[in-house]
Structures are given as C-alpha cells and as structure tokens.
C-alpha cells in the first residue's frame, strides 16, 4: 500500500494535459448536463408536439400526446393550402415585417443618435415621454387610434397597419444605450477630420452598434410577424389578411381541425427561425468586432 502512495505522489505534481475529474466534479458535471437536457427537452417539446400534431389527421389536444404519430399524413398541409390563400397570407406578412423592420431601424437609429449625441433643450424630458409611451398597452389606444385612421381614410390599408409602428420607443431606447457605449473620442477624431453628423452616424456609430441593430431586427420583425390585434381591427379585405389572423381563422365556432391549425403554425415559425439563426451570427460578429473599449 505504502509503495503505491509514494509512486502516486510525484505523479500528481506532473502537469497533466488532460484534467482528470474527481468524483465530485464529475457529479457536478453530470448534474449540470441533466439540468440542461431536461431544460432543453421542456423548451423543445411544444415545437415537437406542434409538428407531430400537424401530421396527425385525427389530431387532438389530449393531456398525453403521442410522440409517435399513429397515422402520419401531410393532409393538414394540403388542406391548409387548398382551403385558404395561405401563400398570399405568408407573403403579406413577410412584406409587412420587412418594411416595418427597415423603417424601425432607420427611425430608431437616427432618433437614438439625436438623443445620445445632440445637445438640445428638453432632451431628457422628450426621451422620458418617449419611454413612457412603452407603458401604455395598445388595447387602451385601439378605439382612438382607429377613429384617427378613419378620419385619414387609411382603414383597410397597409399604411394604416404600419403607421403606429413606424417608430418604436423600445428600439430607440435600445439603440441609444448602445450609442452611449461608443466612445465620444471616436466622434471627436472624426470631427477633426472634417466629418459631419451624418458621416459620423454612418461610418462611426452604426458599425459599432451592430449587435444592438441585430437585436432590434429580431424584435421588430417578430413584433410585426406576430402582430395580431391591430391588423385584425384595421384590415377587412381578405386579400390583405396577415398570417396570425389567417391562423386564428382556422378555428371555428364549435369545432377545430387541429392538424390544419398546427400545419399553419409550423409554417409561421419557419421565417422567425431563419431570421434568428441569421441574426445570431451577426450578433456574435458584432460583439467580436466592437474593438475599442
């Protein structure tokens, strides 16, 4: 026994390439992975259920969903496209989301630049009022907003849908915080080189706040993509209908074909998923390239 101890002694002092885990470390690691796996399963399960329901023609929402579809079929998808103008609806929603996102990026970044870099009277007060608008839920404003659009003759039009979301207080807040992080020394150096506000904004500020811009893209796109109440109220022509409304329309007064509803839901998830994967890459890139601190 003693020999073993002597031999083992110096061996421990030699730096080892591979760190050998002790029992308690291993236990911790196993526990961590168990928690992560359980967490991931909980998060992924609703999506798996959605997909399985979408390919189960006699689908239901019982308490114990079967993870193996007994009789898989794409009839839900076929019915979706046969009975509703689903392709048109997806195109409508995509168009609205892209336009909303582009406009919000423009209004958000320029307003944030002004709130961060320009000195003017009442700057904090105006910014405070802007932030306060985030606290008022849309539901409260629906009827007055609707009446306003009626006077402008913009009901049942995309301009009417877009108008209230041209600028988002949250977006301005998010980008202002990001711009505040960009050192003013950069602006000053650019000013000395003869750059004006627009040049500074375009070549100094924007490249340095890419992560925040990517975040705003995801939020603005998602906000428009999922927007339900306002388009429901404003739009009435079937050819202008957006995706969330078309999805809700799949449910009847008394009965609902869940496979068709879930087929629509699966399709509605795809663009968001694609955008997220795309934006995630930029977020990491943005973080890596924001050089000076």
Partner 1 sequence: MQHKKWMAAAAVAAAGALALAGCSSSAPPKASAPVTITYTNFISAGGNEANLTTIVKAFEKANPNITVKVDTVPYTNYDTKLQTDLAAGTASDVFDIDGVGNYLNYQANGQLAQITGADASLYSAALLDSYQTGDKQYGLPTSFSAVILYYNKALFDAAGVSYPSSSWTWSDEMAAAKKISDPAKGVFGLYQPVTYNEFYKVLVQNGGSFLNQAGTKVAFNNAKGVAAANWLVQKSGTVMPTVAQGQGTPNDDTNLFLAGKLGMDITGTWEIGAFAKAVSPWDIAVEPGNTKQASATFSNAVGIAVTSKHKDAAEKWAEYLSSSKEEVNVRISKGWELPTIANKTQLAQYLKEGAPDNRQAVFDAAKSIAQSPVLGSNGNQIQDIMTNELVEAQAGRSTVAQALAAAASQINALLGQ
* Residue ranges in contact with partner 1 by CB under 8 A: 58, 60-64, 83-84, 142-143, 146-147, 150-153, 155, 228-229, 232-233, 236-238, 245, 248-258
Q: From the CB of 150, what's the least distance to partner 1, in Å?
A: 5
By C-beta, is 181 or 236 nearer to partner 1?
236
By C-beta, is 49 or 146 nearer to partner 1?
146
Mark out the alpha helices in the chain (DSSP H runs): 2-13, 23-54, 75-83, 86-117, 123-132, 138-152, 158-162, 169-181, 184-192, 197-199, 206-208, 210-226, 229-234, 243-249, 258-289
CB 90 within 8 A of CB 272: no
How far is 15 from 270, CA to CA, in rounded Å?
49
| Short-list 159, 161, 173, CA closest to 216 | 173
By C-beta, is 89 or 178 nearer to partner 1?
89
How far is 261 from 275, CA to CA, in rounded Å?
23
Tokens coding 12: 């421990």
By C-beta, is 79 or 187 nearer to partner 1?
79
Residue with tokens 């706040």: 209
By C-beta, is 22 or 255 nearer to partner 1?
255
Q: From the CB of 233, what's the least distance to partner 1, in Å?
A: 5
User: Three-state SS for 246?
Assistant: helix
Tokens coding 153: 């003759």
Distance of CA 250 to the CA centre of its chain: 25
Q: From the CB of 59, what's the least distance to partner 1, in Å?
A: 8
By C-beta, is 171 or 231 nearer to partner 1?
231
Q: From the CB of 47, what's the least distance to partner 1, in Å?
A: 19
| Short-list 237, 95, 226, 99, CA closest to 163 | 99
């Amino acid at each position: 026994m003693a020999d073993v101890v002597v031999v083992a002694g110096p061996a421990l002092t030699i730096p080892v390439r591979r760190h050998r885990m002790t029992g308690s470390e291993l236990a911790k690691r196993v526990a961590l992975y168990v928690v992560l796996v359980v967490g991931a399963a909980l998060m992924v399960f609703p999506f798996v259920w959605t997909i399985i329901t979408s390919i189960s023609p006699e689908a239901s929402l019982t308490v114990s969903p079967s993870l193996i579809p007994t009789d898989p079929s794409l009839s839900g998808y076929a019915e979706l496209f046969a009975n509703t103008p689903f392709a048109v609806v997806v195109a409508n929603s995509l168009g609205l989301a892209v336009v909303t996102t582009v406009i919000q990026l423009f209004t958000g970044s320029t307003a944030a630049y002004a709130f961060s870099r320009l000195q003017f009277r009442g700057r904090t007060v105006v910014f405070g009022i802007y932030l306060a608008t985030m606290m008022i839920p849309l539901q409260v404003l629906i009827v007055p907003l609707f009446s306003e659009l009626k006077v402008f003759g913009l009901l049942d039009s995309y301009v009417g849908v877009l108008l209230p979301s041209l600028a988002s207080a949250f977006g301005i807040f998010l980008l202002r915080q990001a711009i505040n992080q960009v050192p003013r020394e950069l602006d000053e150096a650019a000013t000395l080189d003869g750059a004006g506000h627009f040049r500074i904004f375009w070549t100094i500020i924007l490249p340095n706040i890419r992560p925040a811009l990517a975040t705003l893209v995801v939020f603005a796109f998602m906000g428009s993509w999922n927007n339900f109440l306002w388009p429901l109220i404003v739009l009435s022509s079937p050819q202008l209908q957006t995706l969330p409304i078309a999805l809700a329309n799949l449910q009847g007064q008394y009965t609902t074909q869940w496979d068709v509803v879930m087929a629509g839901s699966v399709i509605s998830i795809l663009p968001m998923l694609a955008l997220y994967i795309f934006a995630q890459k930029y977020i990491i890139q943005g973080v890596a390239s924001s050089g000076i601190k």
